[in-house]
Structures are given as C-alpha cells and as structure tokens.
Amino acid sequence: MRVSRLYVAAALNVGGRLELDEAAAHYVRSVLRLKQDQQIVLFNGQGGEYLARFSEVSRKTVRVEIEQFIDRDVESPMQINLGLGISRGDRMDWAVQKAVELGVTQLTPLVTERCVIKFSDDKKQQRLQHWQHIVQHAAEQSGRTCLPALTEIATLPNWVAGQQGFRVFLDPYADQTLADLVPENQQITLLSGPEGGFSEQERQIAKAAGFVPVRMGARILRTETAVLSALTAVQTLWGDFR
C-alpha cells in the first residue's frame, strides 16, 4: 500500500517526535484521513525522507514518531532556474505545479509588460503563499526530497540583470532550438513569458542581459504549454529523462 508523503518545515531526526502545525494536521485528518498507528513519509526539503508513525491523531493534536531515515534522491542532475511570466488564475497554478514535477530547482514569478494581473503588496504576499502551497504539494506528490525555492515576485528587467551562466528565453521567432545549445556545468536559467509573450522591448532587454532566444518547434504555444515543453526538453537533452 502506498504511504502518503508530507512536507514539514522542521528538523527531522530518527527517534524524534513532532507535533504537526495546524495546516498539516488538518491535511492529515481531513484530506488524507489517516489514523493513529498508521505510517507517513515526512521530508523537509533538505534531502532524503523519514518514515514516521502517528502516535496521536485527534481534533486538537496530530503527533508523529520518526522511525527511519530513507536516503533517497530523485533530483535531476540539471539545476534549473526558472523565471516565469505571471499568467491568469489556473494557468499559473498549473505551470507552477508541473514545473515542480519536472524538476525545477528555483522559480521566480515575473511581472512583465503583458501581465494582465496587477498586485498590491498585500496581494503579492497572498499569491506567493498560494504558490508556495502548490510547490509543497507538488513536491509531496512527485516524490521529490528537495523543495524548489520560490523567490519573491520580480520585474523582468531586474530579474534578468541578476542572472548568470547559461541563459535562454522562449521566443517563437527565434532561429535556434535548445538542441542547438550546450549548457554549462549542468545549470540553466530559463525565461518564459505570460499570455501574449514578451514585448519587443523585453526581448531586447533579455538579449542584452545575455539570454539566448530559442523556439519550441514551428508552432506558437500557450504560456503554460511552452514552459512545460521547455522543461521536458531540458530534462530529455541533459537531465534525467535520458
């Protein structure tokens, strides 16, 4: 029988005991519907995972006892830093979720010229918390043992200016494809746009910052399709899909 996995932001040690926070406890009780003496796999994003058993599951408290460390690594050899233009609603949620499943190492939501969503400071934090939950649940579901970093929302010019190494951006009008390039040191920084793609000014800003334009085939892909296709291609060419 498959044992459920749960991310916890806490130190984990064999023989230790842990009381789950309110959100995790609710998930165990109401979603997973687990009971006392049942097992669960815990991970804290630092590598490896821990087999634990529930010592108490009640309305007030959910406690586990950690029984065994499992030295398990499913991370890709590719270090993928993704700058993702913010798209509307479910499209962005879906892209974040699938990016985690496909092995992204770090993800930064980007405000671009054609971004249709405007954020106040409070709204930014709400969206980041929402996306962080998606990142955690996607890591739980996909069996990852390292939690991808979700960084603060940034503007495209500020973000591209701070990037180094092998850098590409998705551009349906580019001459090259990913297969024409070779990454450096198993690392890549990938820039993908929102609905409507990048403006001409943004394309020039990205190029000036050292980003190489690449196309994903002959067709123009929707924003959520483009980023998933690119991540799949990266893992197929250089990562753990080979």
Q: Are residues 135 and 102 in the same domain?
A: yes
Asked if 78 and 183 touch (Cβ cutoff 8 Å), the reply is yes
Range of the domain at 38: 5-70
pLDDT of residue 1: 61
Same domain? For 209 and 171 the reply is yes
* 3-23 confidence digits (pLDDT tens): 899 999 999 999 999 999 998
Q: What is the pLDDT of residues 173-219, one digit of tens each?
A: 899 999 999 998 899 999 999 888 889 999 999 999 999 999 998 88
> Alpha-carbon torsion 93, 177, 171, 186, what sign?
positive
Residue 238 scores a pLDDT above 80: yes
Of 70, 93, 123, the one marking the end of a domain is 70
Contact 66, 195 (CB under 8 A): no
Q: What is the pLDDT of residues 92-135, one digit of tens each?
A: 999 999 999 999 999 999 999 887 777 777 788 899 999 999 99
Query: 221: domain CATH number?
Result: 3.40.1280.10
Across residues 150-176, what is the average pLDDT? 94
Q: Do 34 and 124 have their domain in common?
A: no
**What's the residue count for the chain?**
242
Number of domains in the chain: 2
- Which of 110, 97, 106 lies closest to 136, judged by CA? 97
- Classify 1 as helix, strand or coil: coil
Same domain? For 93 and 131 the reply is yes
- Determine the number of helices (DSSP H) and then strands (DSSP E) in the chain: 6, 12
What would the two tokens of residue 52 be? Answer: 């634990």
Per DSSP bridges, beta strands 154-155 and 106-111 are parallel
Task: Give the residue from 28, 52, 70 where a domain finishes.
Answer: 70
Asked if 188 and 133 sit in the same domain, the reply is yes
Average pLDDT of the residues of the chain = 92
| pTM across the whole model | 0.90
